Structure 1
Amino acid sequence: MRTLWKSVVLLAALLSVFTPAPAQAQAQAPAPPPGQYVTTLLGTYGFGRAAVIGQSGRQTGAWRSFSVRSGFAGDDLSITYKPATSPSRAETQVYTAAFNQVRDAGAECEKVGRDGVARRVWVSYRCRTGIVASYSLLVR
């Protein structure tokens, strides 16, 4: 019985080591050819916030188009964009979240910035707090 138990534990350990995690599998996916538009889910944001972020990103040229789908945990924001291969010369302000519009404007800014880097919408980002109580997402 102990030998069987040890074998099961060893097999489980080997499978967990040699089976790629979803994040690793996604990172190994081939990158789209440069210059071609890609449509993907950017992320899930608070109810009503995905439309604001999508509209602002389209107006600033961060992506060509967007769509919003409501779910259980918030609104899913899907965008169509050209993947970034290098940082742009100048920062572009994608959107501003005021504290009276969203519960935690800083956290939302960081999430959108990280999601954009992970999907190669932009290469880098920073969240800048303004004089008025708000956070602006600046990308390169």
Structure 2
Amino acid sequence: MRKLTRSLILAGIAGAVLAPSAAHAATPETTTALLGTYGFGRAAVIGEAGRAAGTWETFSVRSGFAGDDLIVTYRPRTAAYPVEKQVYTAAFDQVPDAQAECQQVGAEGVAHRVWVSFRCRTGFAPNYTLFVG
């Protein structure tokens, strides 16, 4: 009986010591990747909105010939957010094709595992809001 009690105590201590490291190992490390290339000036708007929404930690913009590259630092997701997040709204007077931009940002976010799902909702004026899950 004494050996059994001692074994149970040691197993409990080992579990208590190893549990935090196992939980820590389950959290993915941050990743920095190019999310996509958007119209000039749009990458900064999308980057700031995504940071404010909590979908990525930091972002940077690199200007090129075809537009602005949006580079984001985030934790890859394998499960949807508990509650859908609103990332940003693009209005018709801000971008030539708000629906196409919303679809592009949403799809690139899924491809990079920034979020696991998305939808674009149209508003009263021709604008699109990106929601992610």
Question: Into which bin does the TM-score normalised by the smaller protein fall?
Answer: 0.7 to 0.9
1:111 CA drift (Å): 0.2
Quick check: 1:78 aligned with 2:71? yes
TM-score normalized by the length of structure 1: 0.75
1:133 CA drift (Å): 2.4
Q: Which amino acid aligns with 2:37?
A: T
Quick check: 1:51 aligned with 2:44? yes
Q: Which amino acid aligns with 1:86?
A: A
Give CA-to-partner distance per residue, 1:69-92, whole Å, 9 cap, x none. Answer: 000100000000000111112110
1:93 CA drift (Å): 0.5
Give ranges in structure 2 of 5+ residues lacking alignment: 1-25
TM-score normalized by the length of structure 2: 0.79
Superposed structure 1 runs of 4+ greater than 3 Å apart: none
1:98 CA drift (Å): 0.2
Q: Which of 115, 120, 126 does residue 122 from structure 1 map onto?
A: 115
CA distance in 1, matches of 2:99, 2:83: 22
Say which SS state the counterpart of residue 86 (structure 2) adopts. Answer: strand
What is the alpha-carbon root mean square deviation over aligned residues? Answer: 1.0
Aligned residue number for residue 89 of structure 2: 96
CA distance in 2, matches of 1:62, 1:89: 13
1:34 CA drift (Å): 4.0
Q: Which amino acid aligns with 2:48?
A: Q
- Bigger CA radius of gyration: 2
Q: Which amino acid aligns with 2:73?
A: T
Aligned pair count? 108
Aligned residue number for residue 13 of structure 1: none
Identity of aligned residues (%): 63
